[in-house]
Structure 1
Amino acid sequence: MILVLGGTSDSLEICSELNKIFNLKYTLSVTTEYGRDLALGYARNVILGKLTKDDMKKFIKENKVKQIIDATHPYAIEVSKNAIECSKESNIEYIRYERKSLIDGITYPNIYVVDTIEEACEIANQKGNNIFIGTGSKNLDKYVELIKNKKLIARVLPTSEVIKNCEDLGLNGDNIIAMKGPFSKTINMEMYKQYKIDLVITKESGVAGGFLEKVDAADILDIPVVIIKRETIDYPKVINDVKEIRNFIMI
């Protein structure tokens, strides 16, 4: 049995590759109902819920897991750390699928690369008025708390749970763009113009997350972009190409 830790479009592509291997058994773990709905179109066995380290160790033992494929979001750091520890303690193999960083290839000079949300908010307070939050809904509470007397425009998934969370934070229809991405450069440009955006905050989400399209749209409109870097982890084994995964599978 292989445990695939999902939560990204990449994890679904990995499942597609695993499905090509005859008689291979694997389980895909996701953390949201939306993720589960998507996953059911790819994986036969899907479990829903956030796995703590103890949960993961129990699942590994009960299901005789011999390999972990970590395809969680690049910013889901704690899950990856737990998975690495579980693999070592259970003496099984851990493989990390990591989207390649695109920051070094950006030629647009009007960017600010930071390590934390707090640093991003400091820059937003100094340089923006209509601020586009392109990092999803997970840490919106921090932006609302730390960015003062500015208009926030948050682009989030169009689910009732996410929209309710936005409303609970005091955001309303003028602050919420509820759409599923990734988005083209043109769509990003139109959104920036529609909401009179003068600062963009994004994560280094990679090609699959539409990262470059957000930056390229800002480049054309001369809007500054704050990029929150990924935390660096010393992964035991990393691949950057989904198709490589079949070369490392333990049958």
Structure 2
Amino acid sequence: MRVLILGGTGEARELANLASGERGVDIVSSLAGRVANPRLPVGPVRIGGFGGVEGLRTWLRENRIDAVVDATHPFAAQVSTHAATAAADLGLPALHLRRPEWVPRRGDLWTRVPDLAGAASALADRGENVLLTIGRQGVGAFAGCRRQRFVIRSIDAPTGPLPPRYELLLARGPFTFDEELVLMSRHRIDVLVTKNSGGAQTEAKIAAARTAGVPVVMIERPPLPAGANVVDEVGAALDWLRLATAHSVS
């Protein structure tokens, strides 16, 4: 069975590494190409977009794909929608692998917002120094925030408009709790703006904000396509692949 894993996450790499050792499973991973030097999984990898639903549908058909696993970032809503639509159009089994969301704990000071625009609006009555950890895309939503000073941390430099007052930190995580605490102290951070990506690799900033008493503007995840088949751990995705392989053989 030939499987396309839409990846770019640690879970996608782990699944590709595990599934590559499964008998009867042929894995191809796809990355969007938004990071200059991405961490690559085991096995064949294609990089770049497909050209919408039609392009993905054509690629799946031409490459004789038998199943699709969407293991993209929880905020890659368009890719997830395209994957679900293209797979349904071709009658292919599809699975969405999503790590669990973060949930607030005692001591957390969260303001939940639905999107980037909501996050920018929520800063109107906040402090002056903002730590922005939303990746390089979407920073333009904060270009109109003239009162705050932003510390923008991302792997690659953002493109498009930027806030009038900012400092850019180019760095790739994961970061430790102590590193995050030092960063917040050094820059006198008053508020953290982040996406509810979930996962242990980037959770240290949430713990550091809790310890430092720094409020968090938490951007909620976009919904998955209606009726999506979803699992929240790699082991469950591997079990799904094994079952799908058994059905394809029979």
TM-score, normalised via structure 2 length: 0.89
How far apart are the structure 1 equivalents of 2:44 and 2:189?
A: 42
- RMSD, aligned α-carbons: 2.1
Match of 2:248 in 1: none
Gaps of 5+ in 1: none
| Aligned-pair CA distance for 1:246 | 2.2
Q: What is the 5 A alignment of 1:1-251? A: 1-32=2-33, 34=35, 37-39=38-40, 42-51=41-50, 52-103=52-103, 105-144=104-143, 146-157=144-155, 162-163=156-157, 165=158, 169-170=161-162, 175-211=167-203, 213-233=204-224, 234-249=226-241, 250-251=244-245
How far apart are the structure 1 equivalents of 2:162 and 2:237?
A: 43
Instruction: Name the SS for the 2:123 alignment partner.
Output: helix
CA contact (8 A) 2:5 2:69 kept: yes
How far apart are the structure 1 equivalents of 2:20 and 2:167?
A: 41
CA contact (8 A) 2:149 2:165 kept: no
Instruction: Name the SS for the 2:39 alignment partner.
Output: helix
How far apart are the structure 1 equivalents of 2:131 and 2:37?
A: 28
Instruction: Name the SS for the 2:87 alignment partner.
Output: helix
Q: What is the one-letter code of the residue matched to 1:186?
A: D
TM-score, normalised via structure 1 length: 0.88
Instruction: Name the SS for the 2:147 alignment partner.
Output: coil
Matched length: 240
Deviations 1:18-75 (A, max 9, x none): 1220352121110127477521xx3321111122211210111101111000000000
CA contact (8 A) 2:53 2:83 kept: yes
Deviations 1:133-155 (A, max 9, x none): 011111111122x3222111111
Structure with the larger helix share: 1
How far apart are the structure 1 equivalents of 2:60 and 2:197?
A: 29
Gaps of 5+ in 2: 246-250
| Aligned-pair CA distance for 1:106 | 2.1
| Aligned-pair CA distance for 1:209 | 4.2
| Aligned-pair CA distance for 1:128 | 2.2
CA contact (8 A) 1:7 1:35 kept: no
| Aligned-pair CA distance for 1:185 | 1.5
How far apart are the structure 2 equivalents of 1:35 and 1:237?
A: 31
CA contact (8 A) 1:13 1:242 kept: yes
Change (3 A) 1:235 1:178: farther
CA contact (8 A) 1:7 1:31 kept: yes
Q: What is the one-letter code of the residue matched to 2:97?
A: Y
